[in-house]
Amino acid sequence: MTVSVFILSLLAAMAIGMPIAYALLVCGVTLMAFLAATSGLVIFDSQILAQRFVEGADNFPLLAVPFFLLAGEFMNAGGLSRRIVNLAMAWVGHFRGGLGYVTVIAAVIMASLSGSAVADTAALAALLIPMMRAAGYNVGRASGLIASGGIIAPVIPPSIGMIIFGVAGNVSITKLFLAGIVPGLLMGLAIGLTWWWLAKKENVRPGRKVPMPERLRITAQGGFAVALPVVIIGGMKFGVFTPTEAAVVAAVYSFVVGKFIYGELKWSALYGLLLAAGKTTAVVMFLVAAAMVSAWLITVANIPTEVAGMLAPFMGNKILLMFIMMALIIVVGTALDFTPTVLILTPVLMPVVLKAGIDPVYFGVLFIMNNAIGLITPPVGTVLNVVCGVARISMDDAFKGVLPFLCAQLVVLFLLVLFPDIVLVPLHWLMR
């Protein structure tokens, strides 16, 4: 009964057009009133709700969110994104379908800089779609490739999604970051191979083959941008800084490179970039705080135990249980955006994961990957909507274009379900 109250109150609030953060608060109030009326486990008190709301945002690791968002703003405004694309163009742009390979390489590198799927997709689309349209590429397919490349950002560190999951699920963010490297690279490889197969049908004009001296010059210019993920991952592996401190390093590094090395980041733009990062941070933090109210009441109402009871027949088979949970997340991800899905499902599923003996870091990586895939599935599909806006195409055309790459990402996801060591073995090696 409690599960039904939780789901119905949340869906009802969303159905009348209430923003997700407020819907979560309404869900929390409904749960508290239900528990007070039926079991006496809690007493309905608005002060408890306010206290839990404030405590939800009062978490040190969440400081990483504004700094990684700020690093993404500096990266785009300071010319780091453009130089990454130029670097990829210099090496693979002359191949058949070369701009597609440029997209994949640039998406992987940019994913390791910002951690934001929407920001990476917007930057890639703005830079590459005009070039691909002019070269004769199918714009729908090109848009689908860019969207599927953009969703690598929440998987490869630094990942804002993993920070939120780590806080909500009490899981080591450093381990989540390191465990996400191989799955993120596999996502890039999967869409690269899919593009190789599709590019055979593209009748496009290949790019200019860049002479080696010019390639080396462009590579040297882009080297400062490419060095950032090495600094962040290396620093965390060797214990130089925590993920929160890594976010500050990323913001400072991208500012220094964009301002003093590339010279493209203007003082006049600084206020606008800080404001944009602040606005996005406010949205994320409000969502987290509201979700923590519901998460506390979910625990008090013993909803995880009820869910565990429903999944009890599958507890003896970890792979089958993971398949069922991944299928559930896929369905929810089509209707909810990335952050709300993470915040709503984490307190429900994590007790089930721990009870079944599944490694929480392994589950977290697949959970985040699954939610990232939800960013390119209609009807919500935030990343798909971003690409549609930049490319000026319909959602139908964008979905047709993204479908082969979406299938490739799902294949990677279910391979990781079948073979957990693909995630766990590199993690153990990196943690040594």
Encode pLDDT of 213-233 as tens digits. Answer: 999 999 998 999 889 888 888
Residue 14 covered by a domain:
no
Residue 2 covered by a domain:
no
Judge whether 430 and 236 are in contact, CB under 8 Å. Answer: no
One digit per residue, the tens of pLDDT, for the chain of length 432 reads 677 888 888 889 888 888 888 888 888 888 888 877 776 665 667 787 888 888 888 888 888 999 999 998 999 899 998 999 999 999 998 888 899 999 999 999 999 887 789 888 998 999 999 999 988 899 999 999 999 999 999 999 989 999 999 999 999 999 999 999 999 999 999 999 999 999 877 777 777 888 999 999 999 989 998 898 888 888 988 888 889 999 999 999 999 999 999 999 999 999 999 999 999 999 899 989 988 888 888 887 788 888 888 888 888 899 999 999 999 999 888 878 899 999 999 999 999 999 999 999 999 999 999 999 999 998 778 999 999 999 999 989 999 999 999 999 999 999 999 999 999 999 999 887
Residue 12 covered by a domain:
no
Residue 16 covered by a domain:
no
Judge whether 162 and 367 are in contact, CB under 8 Å. Answer: no
Residue 237 covered by a domain:
yes
Residue range(s) defining the domain that contains residue 129: 45-430
Q: How far is the CA of 139 from the CAs of 54, 129, 133, 134, in angstroms?
A: 46, 7, 6, 10
Q: How many residues would you count in the chain?
A: 432
pTM above 0.85, yes or no: yes
In total, how many domains does the chain have? 1
